[in-house]
Copies of this chain bind each other. A is one copy, B any other.
């Protein structure tokens, strides 16, 4: 089991995930996440869910590239691909609140995974963010082209996506990529206090707030998400991309070690 559900109270669910060795978003991660999303939607008492990695070095490393075409196929209830975009849209539209508590590396789809939550809180000392796709001749295909600029504005989103570089939590917070960077020793207590508060409020108020906000604030359209996803998969077939991916695998991509720990600097 990649995802472990810990029920703090009837309205407050903690989800701890671990997909050794480096918490990649792979086929199994995708399948279990779909199952988990179904369960969360079916839980009518759920008010708030907190996702955290139990791997201290990786939140979500990035998408697993060798079996990218074996991901679950088809579209989900939102009309988007069930492999990930459908999950992201369901989190956005959910009647409960979703919070990402981030330690370790959140790069590529790992960063886009974090962006799909209603809020993000990051360890000042231990969180690292990057959109590394340009290092494989591509660009964020899982919502990053749509959601990152809504958080950071166009100029900073372009900087992040065009540099491919690693960003520490304080820079991420100053850019709006995360709500806040919090000292690692206080992060768990802060998020627990916030989720605990939310779980004590009325579900109907929580649901109304999310519904109204989703119709007031700009959220990505399905057309935008699908357009980018199609272009992303096409880009991976380009010779330049294939060569870059091959070279990175030779240097240790998707293996525990120096390359994955310092991927932003090494692409």
Interface residues of A (CB under 8 A from B): 97, 118-120, 133-135, 137-139, 145-146, 149-151, 153-159, 161-165, 171, 173-174, 176, 179-180, 194, 197-198, 201-202, 204-206, 208-210, 212-213, 215-220, 224, 227-228, 231, 235, 238, 240-241, 244
Contacting residue for A194 out of B163, B208, B215, CB 8 A:
B163
Question: Across the interface, do A209 and B158 meet the contact criterion of CB distance under 8 Å?
Answer: yes
Give 20 A-B pairs besides A150-B154, A162-B206 with Cβ atoms closer than 8 angstroms: A119-B155, A134-B201, A134-B206, A135-B201, A137-B204, A137-B205, A139-B209, A145-B209, A145-B212, A146-B216, A150-B153, A151-B153, A154-B217, A155-B179, A156-B176, A157-B217, A163-B198, A164-B197, A212-B227, A212-B231
Question: Across the interface, do A120 and B206 meet the contact criterion of CB distance under 8 Å?
Answer: no
Q: Within 8 Å CB of A155, what residues of B?
A: 118-120, 151, 176, 179
Cα–Cα, bound, A198→B135 (Å): 10
5 contacts between A and B (CB under 8 A): A134-B209, A135-B201, A162-B201, A162-B206, A163-B198
Q: Which residue of B lies closest to A211 (CB)?
A: B231
Question: Across the interface, do A198 and B162 meet the contact criterion of CB distance under 8 Å?
Answer: yes
Known: A216-B145, A219-B154. A165 touches B205 (CB 8 A): no
Give the interface centre of A134, A151, A216, A219 by most chain B CB atoms within 10 Å.
A216
Question: Across the interface, do B201 and A179 meet the contact criterion of CB distance under 8 Å?
Answer: no
Could you tell me the distance in whole angstroms from the C-beta of A108 to the nearest C-beta in chain B? Answer: 14
Cα–Cα, bound, A7→B87 (Å): 46
Known: A146-B216, A149-B217, A198-B162. A205 touches B156 (CB 8 A): no
Q: Within 8 Å CB of A153, what residues of B?
A: 150-151, 176, 217
Closest A-B pairs by Cβ, 6 of them: A154-B217, A149-B217, A137-B202, A202-B240, A139-B209, A134-B201
Known: A139-B205, A209-B134. A158 touches B119 (CB 8 A): yes
Question: Across the interface, do B145 and A213 meet the contact criterion of CB distance under 8 Å?
Answer: yes
Question: Across the interface, do B158 and A205 meet the contact criterion of CB distance under 8 Å?
Answer: no
Cα–Cα, bound, A240→B47 (Å): 15
Give the interface centre of A145, A157, A201, A235 by most chain B CB atoms within 10 Å.
A201
Give the interface centre of A176, A224, A228 by most chain B CB atoms within 10 Å.
A176
Q: Within 8 Å CB of A171, what residues of B?
A: 180
Q: Within 8 Å CB of A138, what residues of B?
A: 205
Known: A164-B197, A165-B197. A205 touches B235 (CB 8 A): yes
Q: Within 8 Å CB of A218, what residues of B?
A: 154
